[in-house]
Structure 1
Amino acid sequence: MACIAATGLSIGSVTATTLVKNVTGYTLNEGGKLVKFSNLVFDEGKIVALNVDENNYSIDATINGEGKVMLPGLIDAHGHLLGLGANLLEVNLRESSSAQDAAKMVADYAFANAQQDWITGRGWNQELWSDRAFPAAADLDKVVSDRPVFLTRVDGHAAWVNTKAMELAGITKDTQSPVGGEIIKDANGNPTGVFIDNASLLIEAHLPKASNAIYAQQLDAAGEHLLANGITSMHDAGVGREVYDFYLKEAVEGDLPVRIYAMISATDNELSTMLGNGPIRDEDDFLYIRSVKAYGDGALGSRGAALLAPYSDAPHQHGLLLTQPEDMTQLFTTVIGAGFQLNYHAIGDKANHVALNEFETTFDNIGGSELRHRIEHAQVIAPDDLARFAKLKVLPSMQPTHATSDKNMAEDRIGKERMKGAYAWKTLLDSGIALPLGSDFPVELANPFYGLHAAVTRQDRNNQPVKGWYAHEALTVEQAFKGFTLDAAYAGHMEDTLGTLTPGKWADFILVDQDIFTIDAKDIWKTKVQATYVAGKQVFAQ
């Protein structure tokens, strides 16, 4: 395994022997049992001991927790780091009430982000505005005329731009609409600033290309957001060669703000080259690359999840397999044969079934079951397949807030009978397999306390449904906590240094404002992070 020696961590490790006192602390021990403590000592960024007599140590520095609750830094086992950063760097127009209101949001954002060459955003929906009319470039020109603006409609099927953007793209009254798209024009034949479907590509082609500078902006934004929410480590579900190289550079320079367990994208043209480089782990555990993300099917909401039987609300649809069965053997053999963990996206019961079959066949042929392979999402599983996860030692990597987001449509899509194997967290955990948890940010919000709340209550943040959605699959607080700490670390082959506040592990911890183990479960999502520490150094304070 290649090891990167960092030139110096930007967040730094605290080398002095430090006492953290006056806390209500919780962690799991190495056996996964909950342990309570009132203080701890760390040195050189790693935990030395819990519940100490401070007179027995030569203490160089003290952190007074002021009675707050202390937890290990939380780990999100499935997210998209730079995707989150890109989302955070855009204007969010979902709440806009009119074109003028949206333009004001754009103006505020442009003022706060003077360094950005293009202003981008998403979320406008004229159907929710009182006039239900398309906006126009003129609305944007009034507030931003010196920089191009590109705003995607909520569904991604239209773009609203300002005059500057049209000028850069060479759009005039003579520009013809492309096949599969429409340039909206006024009565005089002038483009209004709204481009439908393929027409938006005429503008989109001029957006800044991905570069290390853009990646760095996205990384900083995402890192700041995650640390403020108590996430100190995340599993990045699908990175191509350019991001792979960028992460390596950032790790060497000590500029990664959170710990990243990166999954190489199976569809990248340079997959074989990256596999040939072997697993890579930097000595400070800010970057670990030893897994591949593959894509089995689509999503349930769009009926792209591959099902064994037709959709209940669309009898002629079965969903889509993104990796065809005839291509799976080569993919599994290549990745597992190279000693990499394979993390397979599967939402529908067919995608899960064929993935489990392929894992079983591969293990029989070349071994590799010890690599802790995963099925990402594992949302709808045929009941007969539920026990196979533990049997094959394939981890179901799940996202609790997907259930509370999907609860209003999932049963319509698959019917009550198939719900027996859907979002089946407790059943899978009881079968004897670890259950790493995450959010799939930015698809869902990154806040891990939203995930903990959803896992325990099976309710949304409005306490609906009252008795929980298929509440028999709910987890205990301790089980959900384990999913966002020790099980997530295990799923990333990092339980040796992360996931618990036990001697020898990194001093990654957070201070929060309430005790998730004693409060009413319905209030878990309201938990606020007061401070975040990585390797013993404070990286966020409220």
Structure 2
Amino acid sequence: MPQIADLIIRNARVLTMDADTPRAEAVAVAGNSILAVGSSNEITTLAGPSTRVIDAKGATVLPGFNEAHMHIFPGSVSLRQLNLHGIQGFDALKQAILGYAAANPDEPLLMGFSADYSIIGLGEPVTRQHLDAILADRPFMMFAPDHHTAWANTAALKQAGLLNGKDVGIGNEVVMGADGLASGELREGNAFGPVAALASTGGREELGMVTGMDPENVTPEQYALDRAILKNGLEYCASWGVTSIQNFDGNHYQLRIMRDLEQSGELPCRIRIPFHMKNFMDLSEIDKAAEWKKEFSTDMLRGDFVKVFMDGVLDSQTAFMLDGYGDRPDYDYEPLFTEQAFNAIATKADALGLQVAVHAIGSAAIRQTLDGYESALKANGRQDNRHRIEHIEIIHPDDIPRFAELGVVASMQPVHYPGGTCFPAEPTTAKIGEDRWAYAYAWRTMKDAGAPVVFASDWPVSPVSPFQCIQDAMTRKPWKDGLPDQRFTLEESLEAYTAIGAWVEFMEDRKGKLKPGYLADIAILSTDIESVAPDTIMDTVRAAITICDGRITHQA
């Protein structure tokens, strides 16, 4: 007698991501697993008196989205902050900040995010004086979209002890003004961390990014606040059809909160959290990552890889570049790790069976990372650790084939493309330099060269919506005629958000596809995504129902 399904989804356009059975009409779920995929007639026979039946009404059904690069704690906190995306000009910024301040009279540090580098005007850097002219009597700080630069007013700088400047370590900077005081611009986590610590969260959301360390002396009230913030953020991700998250900042504190949510049945997404290796840490610290891999090893929660920052970002000119910047050819910046230090990290982590994922945006940072992975390969032989490079915004053509040669994953975010739906083309294109445009944000070039390409949003750097990322992947317009066409098809984009994401995290044997025996992680969309014009996907398509581990985690 066939097993009875707990849940059936029928009348669907099922995209399974399984090459053996790419399309179907219905899906049956039993417990937390896919029971069967097939025609409506076949699946209907698996229904019993207590089976829940969902009519998809002709909409797309596919594996739940795998968010392969995001920052869950800062993203979750951002849901409480001032969203400055799309705000341009001093007057619009003033109106937004004052409205937010009035609505949050008790917040010790007012914070905004997604403030464009040219929010005051193209070529006019934000200063504390700009912010003081808007709000002088309460501490305020706002982040650039990339979360690598922030700007604070004088009140915030004074309270954080930064107004007179401070040495904040290699790759970080409290930018000084001509008057000998801090200008208000804070580059990288060590610089803006002291300001973030003034917030009601105590800056705990930034520790996984800035230090990789746990917060000290967390009270029960603070823990409860952080747990509630993270639960809300995870539920927000689930509302977009996300069932798996590969997080890109981390500490043991976040893992403990996630385990608390898992054990109480409140974890709506699967999540893996890295050990964040910083340049001030001793090499022996990587042993902790191996311990985390054993301690957190369920299908819902894992702590099983190492995250490294090699450089910063293009717009603040903290990316490590070969042959300088387009608008500053004599300036390369510097890596956050020496060649020898990173080679040692890559080699040790690889020997321990740990995946390494490196933030590398500039061409020199990408090369140095590839060199480190090659060093590990020579030392340890070929392992199947699927090491990654995150972002890859400008690459030297000589390094493109090395991804396939070394087996390195290209983790890219089409929504980051300057001139797409999220970010303006300038000033980024000028910083890249026109002679290098062909090798910037080159996801099609990477895929055609044999690199496994996985997509993600990098939330809260850009919106968590997979549909916005997919639209940008499919509709990218070149900055000038003659540049390579970097577009993906819809099928390729969906695969990069599902099956390839599962492969990248070593779970291709049980998720990323709608296939009997696989985990029941499913997104039922609001419509048939294949019938939607590519340039309208982000405004047209939503997740109607999200199912993770056989449990409905979102229903519109």
Task: Assess same fold via TM > 0.5.
Answer: yes
Q: Distance in 1 between matches of 2:360 and 2:369?
A: 8
Q: What residue in structure 2 maps to residue 502 of structure 1?
A: 515
**2:91 equivalent to 1:104:** no
Q: Distance in 1 between matches of 2:520 and 2:481?
A: 36
Tell me if structure 1 keeps the 8 A contact 2:241–2:546: yes
Q: Deviations over 1:409-452 (max 9, x none)?
A: 44422323323322221222122232111111111111111110
In structure 1, stretches of 5+ residues that fail to align are 1-14, 111-115, 142-147, 183-193
Partner residue of 1:300 out of 298, 314, 333: 314
Alpha-carbon distance, 1:256 to partner: 2.4
Q: What residue in structure 1 maps to residue 209 of structure 2?
A: none
Q: Distance in 2 between matches of 1:275 and 1:139?
A: 43
Q: What residue in structure 2 maps to residue 351 of structure 1?
A: 365
Partner residue of 1:414 out of 432, 436, 461: 432
Q: What residue in structure 2 maps to residue 35 of structure 1?
A: 22
Q: Distance in 1 between matches of 2:134 and 2:313?
A: 37
Which deviates further from its counterpart, 95-104 or 54-63?
95-104
Number of equivalences: 488
Partner residue of 1:229 out of 228, 240, 255: 240
Q: Distance in 1 between matches of 2:382 and 2:530?
A: 38
Q: Distance in 2 between matches of 1:244 and 1:399?
A: 25
Given the two structures, how large is their TM-score scaled by the length of structure 2?
0.77
Secondary structure of the residue aligned to 2:61 is strand
Partner residue of 2:534 out of 517, 521, 532: 521
Partner residue of 1:242 out of 253, 258, 261: 253
Matches within 5 A, 1:274-423: 274-277=288-291, 279-280=293-294, 285-403=299-417, 404=420, 405=423, 407-423=425-441
Partner residue of 1:91 out of 64, 73, 82: 82
Given the two structures, how large is their TM-score scaled by the length of structure 1?
0.79
2:461 partner letter: V
Alpha-carbon distance, 1:224 to partner: 2.2
Secondary structure of the residue aligned to 2:34 is strand
1:397 partner letter: S
Tell me if structure 2 keeps the 8 A contact 1:68–1:514: yes
Matches within 5 A, 1:25-104: 25-29=14-18, 31=19, 35-52=22-39, 53-54=42-43, 56-59=45-48, 60-92=51-83, 95=87, 97=92, 99=94, 102-104=97-99
Alpha-carbon distance, 1:471 to partner: 5.4
**2:444 equivalent to 1:426:** yes
Tell me if structure 2 keeps the 8 A contact 1:121–1:150: yes
Tell me if structure 1 keeps the 8 A contact 2:327–2:431: yes
Q: Distance in 2 between matches of 1:468 and 1:216?
A: 50
Against the structure 1 CA distance between its residues 487 and 505, is the aligned structure 2 distance closer, same or farther, given a 3 Å change threshold? same
Tell me if structure 2 keeps the 8 A contact 1:306–1:348: yes
Q: What residue in structure 2 maps to residue 445 of structure 1?
A: 463
Matches within 5 A, 1:177-188: 178=164
Tell me if structure 1 keeps the 8 A contact 2:415–2:462: yes
Against the structure 1 CA distance between its residues 293 and 179, is the aligned structure 2 distance closer, same or farther, given a 3 Å change threshold? closer
Secondary structure of the residue aligned to 2:455 is coil
2:366 partner letter: N
1:523 partner letter: T
Alpha-carbon distance, 1:221 to partner: 2.6
Tell me if structure 1 keeps the 8 A contact 2:5–2:47: no
Against the structure 1 CA distance between its residues 135 and 18, is the aligned structure 2 distance closer, same or farther, given a 3 Å change threshold? closer
Q: Deviations over 1:36-75 (max 9, x none)?
A: 2211111012111112424532432212223322222111
Q: Deviations over 1:161-193 (max 9, x none)?
A: 79xx99xx7x9xxx99645799xxxxxxxxxxx
Q: What residue in structure 2 maps to residue 6 of structure 1?
A: none
Which deviates further from its counterpart, 399-408 or 445-454?
399-408
2:521 partner letter: D
Against the structure 1 CA distance between its residues 51 and 296, is the aligned structure 2 distance closer, same or farther, given a 3 Å change threshold? same
Q: What residue in structure 1 maps to residue 112 of structure 2?
A: 122
